[in-house]
Chain A
Amino acid sequence: MNGVHDMGGMDGFGKVEAEPNEPMFHQRWEGRVLAMVRALGAAGAFNIDTSRFYREALPPDVYLASSYYKKWLLGLEDMLIAKGFVARDEVTGGHAIEPAKPLKRGKFTVGDVERIMVRGQFGRDATAAAKFNRGDRVRAKNIHPTTHTRLPRYVRGHVGVIERNNGCHVFPDSAAIDAGENPQWLYTVVFDGKELWGNDADPTLKISIDAFEPYLEKA
């Protein structure tokens, strides 16, 4: 979706302000939100792509005005309600009213914590040969799906070069909408700064994205 989360190349957000000796969490609740998202994801309530989609789908003014973990909280509430794990009046009232919906991998307990500290695996067996090779010129398709995609707007329609084949991976565009993993080849595609930003761009700049095969066409 063409949301405000797709920020690459936008102007007007100001300077990057780094906080010296930044704590891991600024408020206790931030850690609770992170933990709830990780726990319910691991228990099978949703996948990582779906959780990103719900955050992106927050109204643009809410997205921009909310802190990082507030976006996580709002996305989590919306997602759990949409998937039937909790009801809106339970969230507002702060108590369970309706029976629980079974989780794919059951209740998340202390014994599951170690498992989630290992990063998930997204590589899958290939179902077809890769269409592109290293060095091929490709164009990022001019597509505008209204659901989740990982093709940023700033590369659409532009030509780059395949630098690396990262193997076949879960396709976020499908996984996010519960349409299955639909594995696709994943390539690192490099663009010249001028191709993306015009002749005023820094001549030394190159930018890469990791692009799934359905995002690309031969240039």
Chain B
Amino acid sequence: MKALGAAPHNGILDWLFNWFYNLFLNWNMSEASAAAWASGMNQLIAFLIIVIFIVVTVLFVVLFERRVLGFFQIRHGPNRVGPQGLFQTVADALKLLQKEDIMPLAAEPITYNIAPFAVFVPSILAFVVIPMGAAYVGGSYNVLIVRDLNIGILYLLAVSSVALIGFLMAGWGSNNKYALISAFRNAAQIISYEVPMILAILGVVLVAGSTSMVDIVHSQSVVWNIVPQFVGFLIYLICGLAETNRCPFDLPEAESELVAGFHTEYSGMKFALFFLAEYTNVFVISAIITTLFLGGWKGPMFLGAGGLWLTSIFWFLAKTYIMVTIFVWLRATLPRFRVDHLMGFAWKFLVPVAVVNILVIGLGVAFSHPLYMGSPGNINERLTADARVVALTQLSSSSIYNIMFDSEKVEGPVRIIEGNGTVDFGWINTAYGAMSDDMKTFFWAYNVFAFLFLILILFTVWKVIRGVKRAPKLEVMWSAVSGGEADAKA
């Protein structure tokens, strides 16, 4: 967000990044400096770079899933087209490009043809607010994000609700019973899991004090949200699986009942678009989990300030692909939910748990629990050259805030603390030492309560997973096959 100065050349990495940045990546500057500094051509090239990144990512995620799934099932997966099967998805796309496009006579042409757009475009739109890294450009700190919208996470929710309409359009437009039932199930499933999902996000917003994705990442400089908000992470993971129709929530695409789901009637390139949108959503959900709970691009910055851009992008991609791997792992492990279990799990279990989770986090923030107070870097970053900074430094109602700001007199250029995302025990110790005795008692009572809550949730989720996995006993199965107990006895 800062104006660019002369770029210092502090080593080859810095030089390389500045070269790229000057060419392409001037995304997140203020309009004025962007206009002064970059021509429209550069903006266009930057945009093309983003588009290519998205396309490559999507193509790679498809291959990644197939290879990892192959690994889980002790087979190779596609490994013939290109090195390690790297071009398999490209080959598939080229094949689908040449396939005949069949629209059934009974289908409703307008809705049928708009549906691929309504599903694919929102999945691309999500990339606008995903922060992928950070870099020092000309000595000032920049975040690699297309646009840091103030409503970042709400924007993502809005975008995903458009895709939902796309699914319904596909189902209805096909005039196919399987497709329509699938679209209905999909819609019911997504809206059921949206409520606990939003509640899980709210926990993160409470700690960050902002809906912007960059602020959320900065609020995790001291400790990643997954540590103090593990319940929220679990809820978001489950809801993310449900939102992307992944196993064990793939009822809308249950092959055994619904053929292929809402895209049963789609062939050729239109099918490919649905397919790509699905995998884009997997990547996007993983990236959102990374941003909300895993500290975004933050991690040990082993290349120093000059290589910040490389390490930050590395950490972002590594965390995201770990999440994608977990998604694939769950697919390889778990069977499908039953539809009534699915709905019951969302409404009867996840919603109350998410509400209690919000209250627990709210209480922790209200009593200045060190893990929930964000980081000093966060607040400095957000309040740059803001009247609020002066006001906040004078604040006396919270000891935590004083600790943050006493050490950081906010005059002159603001120092950004690029926390490496590991738990900063020193800072927590200082905060703990500043507490009164009553606060310390409350602190420990709260910790014990939150821990018990976590154990309870983990136990219940474990029970649910065991319940899904448990197969009927062999005798019962045999009697069902052979026609009841009478046969089994005889």
Whether both chains belong to one complex is answered with: no
